[in-house]
Structure 1
């Protein structure tokens, strides 16, 4: 979603397997590297993942070379169109030039940005839409809430004429609450802390001695299914995070005890961007498209751990059709 906005369309057109390589890197390679499997390990999943990562870095290096040529008014390699590359990338390139970074260094440094922009928002949006369309009555409530801020054209196939993004972000509290509930069910944030001095922690009858120079890993998602915190924790409840003022009746979406972005100074820096991205794209999808199960009733796939968001264990087949004017 964010790739063409930041890197331009050319990178996708010129590298048709880029997104497949990204998911190979994210789903297969990264978990192995995280647990310390050496890169020389003779596992196909490791070697395929390393090749996918190398192709991603090569693609990013090529983009930076072309952006640099474009900004300097030089002929661009392969005649690529760099006019739609985002301002963020252009400004980063200026800083890299100022500080003397090579193009391979720029690409390697940008891998983290490229990964962060894509790894979590897309799967969260998938689960969010699945919950919205499969929960009885919720789709209509969401459409009614966002309709004042999404203007559709007339005709057999309505298109979006305009979107009032500030109002979507501020006023659509049910939409936000559904995003928070999706976070609760599918996000897997983990906070990692370095122990700078020995410390002892009492946990009931158990005492934990943490030694200097070690790390603490805190999987924050463990409490998301705790029934003492969340009633009926395995069920998607749209209004769970809506806090209604008893005097005014105004409902506001609040995180409460939910920690989908980590903790403290290391909290995800892109959390606001990611949330707005999901609201924007989710609003566009529910405004334009009807989605129903290909056969029978909705059956949501089971989940397995991912690198930040849970993944479905299997595909889900649906029928997608343009929303008719009569339903607008």
Structure 2
């Protein structure tokens, strides 16, 4: 990479025809994050919002309206304690309710759960009713998308639009092609499929905009989306902000779709990678199961207890707050997954001149004196988190999955705890840090439920393989010779 060949912590790269100053020094990264950003936001993020999600300067408009007290507060709400508590409790309730039906073991598609259909490829062998075969990534994407959508948008929305997760996955598969501005007419599969999926999803969110507007005014919203009481406060706040800005249903749909993608795709991917690493290492899986066993409990009442002549589905009891304070190894697995599998970048357009100085410790790695770099107001800076997270100078054996690197001993209590500061700063999504309070709890809740309630193994081989990456927003290019996330097929669940 450029940093290694030039032995420089700062170098210039062109993204979308615009020069960006790439910063890879951890100390300089922290200074960049503390610097004030100019508005409108960075051109790269604007290009993603416009070309992929159909935004027409909506976000920039809301940024400019901040002085009038009207703004999109999504990134702020996602870290507010009240919202995080509400969201965590709601996601936990839904996971406890539905996790036992991650696969229903029903052969008929009519009897299967919504997330089992389509690309999940769930099949129940004739000879064994206690296992099924499925595309693990597609199944988890559909399940996580269904649960998260239920919390964000409400039960009525999910019931009436059950195929959202698959279209969201199509956008992710085609993200790079769409981001480049490839027109629909170009004979490229990613262009036609990506544009079609984006159009379908924006249409769905346009319907939601009109229904919510009617519902918020006390008018009958129609039979499909009549009951919107259970829509999350995050979405309700955005909708009311959009109404103050007098946005059309189309403009509102583009903004909703971009946030929807940002939250669900990140949650899905990091959960998937955490699960595959745990089931690929049985000894680590045993340790995690033992650690969370007091707070994540799977049980099944006997026929004698229920009085019914058949077995009830398993029950799941999950206390995510206790997990957060009492399960450092489990949390460390999550942080290591983010380090190893997230290749996000943060962008900032400077609102004033900025001076970045390298620390003496970092300069010593390169056998140089500490260096200083000056940037002018209006310049663009990009922080490639993946480059730092895979740098052997800061992480020993960076390509190895090692959660223990995040475990530290508290000098006061003598107990171990997970230390995310080793990984900081986290990557940014379209709406601020991807490591917000909402996504961390959601990922840990989904992962804990699967680990406690399910066994997963490959249809061939002894251990579940950890597949390679596919090229997507915030991800690494595909590893040659390895399957991408969407190619993880025929895993057995029981």
Aligned to 1:183: 338
C-alpha deviation, 1:243, in angstroms:
0.4
**Using a 3 Å threshold, how does the CA distance of structure 1 residues 143 and 260 change in structure 2: closer, same or farther?**
farther
Counterpart check, 1:232 vs 2:397 = yes
2:205 aligned partner: 60
C-alpha distance after superposition, 1:306-327 (max 9, x if no partner): 2124575232432111xxxxxx
Report what 1:131 is aligned to: 277
- What SS does the aligned partner of 2:403 have? coil
Other-structure match for 1:171: 326
Task: State how far apart, in whole Å, the 2-side matches of 1:281 and 1:193 are.
Answer: 32
In the other structure, the counterpart of 1:111 is 257
User: 1 or 2 for the larger relative contact order (CA 8 Å, sep ≥6)?
Assistant: 2
When normalised by structure 1's length, the TM-score is 0.83
Match of residue 302 from structure 1 = 468
Q: Give 1:194's aligned residue.
A: 349
CA distance in 2, matches of 1:269, 1:24: 21
Match of 1:120 in 2: 266
- Separation of aligned partners in 1, 2:216 and 2:422: 47
1:111–1:231 distance in 2 versus 1, CA, 3 Å: same
2:314 paired residue among 153, 158, 175: 158
Give the conservation status (yes or no) of the 8 Å contact 1:18–1:56.
yes
Give, in whole Å, the separation in 2 of the partners of 1:301 and 1:216: 32
Q: CA deviation at 1:21?
A: 1.7
Between 137-146 and 95-104, report the one with greater CA deviation.
Answer: 95-104
- Measure, in 2, the Cα distance between the counterparts of 1:187 and 1:260: 12
State which of 230, 253, 262 in structure 1 corresponds to 2:427: 262
Hey, which bits of structure 1, 4+ residues long, moved more than 4 A?
195-214
Indicate the SS of the match to 1:4. Answer: helix
Equivalent residue for 1:15? Answer: 161
3-state secondary structure, aligned to 1:139? helix
Residue 185 of structure 1 deviates from its aligned partner by: 0.8
Deviation string, structure 1 residues 42-87 (Cα, Å, up to 9, x no partner): 2432233122112111101111222333344433334445344333
Correspondence for 1:5 among 145, 151, 174: 151
Deviation at 1:267, TM superposition (A): 5.1
Match of residue 387, structure 2, among 215, 222, 241: 222
* Gapped regions of structure 2 (runs ≥ 5): 1-143, 302-310, 359-365
> Which runs of 5 or more structure 1 residues have no equivalent in the other structure?
322-328
- State the partner residue of 2:290: 144
Secondary structure of 1:89's aligned partner:
helix
CA distance change for structure 1 residues 108 and 177 in 2, over 3 Å: closer, same or farther?
Answer: same
- Asked if structure 1 preserves the Cα contact closer than 8 Å seen for 2:342 and 2:475, the reply is yes
* Contact 1:31/1:307, CA 8 A, preserved across alignment: yes
Deviations 1:167-224 (A, max 9, x none): 1222221111000111111011212233555979999699988676542323111132
SS at match of 2:260: helix
Name the Cα RMSD after superposition: 3.1
Number of matched residues?
Answer: 316
Match of 1:241 in 2: 406
